[in-house]
Amino acid sequence: MKKALFLFALIISTQSLFAQKDADQILGTWLKGTGNARVEIYKNANTFQGKIIWLSEPIDPVTNKPKTDTKHPNSTLHSRPLMGLINLWGFSYNESEGNWEKGHIYDPKSGKEYKCTITAKDKNTLNVRGYIGISLIGRTDVWTRVK
Amino acid, res. 48 = F
Question: Is pLDDT at 14 greater than 90 in this prediction?
Answer: no
Question: Is pLDDT at 145 greater than 90 in this prediction?
Answer: yes
In whole angstroms, give the CA distance from residue 132 to residue 113.
9
How many domains would you assign to the chain? Answer: 1
pLDDT at res. 17: 38
DSSP H/E element including 20: helix 2-23
In whole angstroms, give the CA distance from residue 16 to residue 24.
12
pLDDT at res. 88: 98
pLDDT at res. 116: 98
In whole angstroms, give the CA distance from residue 120 to residue 112.
24
pLDDT at res. 21: 67
Contacts of 28 (CB under 8 A, 6+ apart): 40, 41, 145, 146
Each residue of 47-84: pLDDT tens digit? 999 999 999 999 999 999 999 999 999 999 999 999 99
Question: Is pLDDT at 45 greater than 60 in this prediction?
Answer: yes
- pTM comes to 0.84
Contact 89, 44 (CB under 8 A): yes
The domain that holds 62 is classified in CATH as 2.40.128.520
pLDDT at res. 13: 39
Long-range CB contacts for residues 97-101, cutoff 8 Å, separation at least 24: 98/22, 100/23, 100/26, 100/48
β-strand 99-107 against 112-122: which pairing, if any?
antiparallel
Each residue of 23-32: pLDDT tens digit? 999 999 999 9
Its domain, for residue 24, covers 2-145
CA distances from 64 to 54, 59, 83 (A): 17, 6, 15
pLDDT at res. 26: 98
